[in-house]
């Protein structure tokens, strides 16, 4: 988990509320990624960014938004449009050879 921090570790959301998950890296990596993990489904890509001020949708982007204003930071907002947001969220960054380093994760629960 070294080099990438995610906060908070646990997050609770009420119905209709937007919440933002933080991801910061000090590895000087250009690329950053957000994944969602549900039991038995592996990792599903939400958004990724290959460079500052640019990002692309992944496989399950609906109901999520991101920004990449700084190289070190890639926050993920879970909007009220995401109907089933309860999951474990993982942030990662990668070097030029593509090895991805992961943060410790944020567990989001809808109340």
Interaction site with another protein (CB under 8 A) = 1, 4, 6, 30-31, 33, 40-43, 45, 48, 50, 58, 88, 90, 92, 94, 96-105, 107
Would you call 4 helix, strand, or coil by DSSP?
strand
Q: How far is the CB of 16 from another protein (least distance, A)?
A: 27
Q: Are 63 and 55 in contact (CB under 8 A)?
A: no
Q: How far is the CB of 110 from another protein (least distance, A)?
A: 18
Q: Which is closer to another protein, CB of 80 or CB of 100?
A: 100
Q: How far is the CB of 24 from another protein (least distance, A)?
A: 14
Q: Which is closer to another protein, CB of 58 or CB of 63?
A: 58
Q: How far is the CB of 21 from another protein (least distance, A)?
A: 13
Q: Which is closer to another protein, CB of 22 or CB of 101?
A: 101
Q: CB neighbours of 5 closer than 8 A, spacing ≥ 6? A: 22, 23, 24, 25, 103, 104
Q: Which is closer to another protein, CB of 30 or CB of 62?
A: 30
How many Å apart are CA 54 and CA 48, to the nearest integer? 9
Tokens of 66: 């991101």
Tokens of 26: 């000090």
What single DSSP character describes residue 30? S
């Amino acid at each position: 988990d070294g080099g990438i921090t995610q906060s908070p570790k646990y997050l609770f959301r009420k119905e209709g509320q937007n919440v933002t998950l933080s991801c910061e890296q000090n590895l000087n990596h250009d690329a950053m990624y957000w994944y969602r993990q549900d039991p038995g489904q592996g990792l599903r890509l939400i958004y990724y960014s290959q460079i500052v001020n640019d990002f692309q949708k992944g496989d399950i982007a609906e109901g999520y938004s991101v920004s990449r204003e700084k190289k070190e930071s890639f926050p993920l907002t879970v909007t009220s449009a995401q109907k089933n947001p309860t999951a474990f969220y993982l942030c990662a960054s990668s070097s030029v050879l593509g090895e991805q380093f992961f943060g410790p994760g944020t567990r989001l629960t809808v109340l």
